[in-house]
């Protein structure tokens, strides 16, 4: 399922911006993956597995190797939304979220354009 349109988010250098998934009942989804830029490099991911329920853990969180985002990203396990803290102009660009259902039969795509001003 493609969300209609690209959401625009604007912030000033040093601010925090949050990219909201606006997906109801996010707990039904097993994977929430965020990409940045044309190369579609994964910058953050929440991955829920059936064993997480047995061990009491709700999810595993992965943050990609892109140095621009080191210690700046925060994923919300309840909503799947991603916050970028202390943003820089190098964080301007296109962000994509892919939200995959537990059954792997349903996928939602979200797109955001982030613009960072001085």
Q: What is the pLDDT of residues 49-106, one digit of tens each?
A: 665 555 545 556 677 888 888 889 998 877 889 999 999 999 999 999 999 887 778 8
The CATH number given to whatever domain includes residue 83 is 2.60.40.10
Boundaries of domain holding 97: 7-117
Cα–Cα distance measured from residue 27 to residue 90, given in angstroms and rounded to the nearest whole number: 32
pLDDT, mean over the chain: 84
State pTM to two decimals. 0.83
In a domain, residue 104? The reply is yes
| 35 strand-pairing partners | 42, 96
SS3 67: helix
In a domain, residue 18? The reply is yes
In a domain, residue 88? The reply is yes
In a domain, residue 21? The reply is yes
Cα–Cα distance measured from residue 41 to residue 96, given in angstroms and rounded to the nearest whole number: 10
CB 77 within 8 A of CB 6: no
Give the total number of structural domains in the chain.
1
């Amino acid at each position: 399922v493609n969300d209609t349109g690209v959401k625009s988010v604007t912030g000033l250098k040093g601010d925090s911006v949050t990219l909201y998934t606006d997906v109801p009942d996010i707990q039904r989804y097993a994977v929430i993956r965020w990409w940045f830029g044309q190369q579609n490099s994964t910058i953050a991911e929440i991955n829920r597995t059936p064993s997480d329920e047995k061990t009491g853990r709700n999810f595993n969180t992965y943050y990609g190797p892109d140095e621009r985002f080191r210690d700046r990203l925060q994923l919300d396990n309840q909503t799947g939304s991603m916050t970028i803290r202390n943003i820089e102009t190098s964080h301007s660009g296109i962000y994509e979220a892919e939200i995959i259902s537990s059954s792997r039969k349903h996928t939602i795509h979200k797109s955001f354009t982030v613009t960072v001003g001085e």
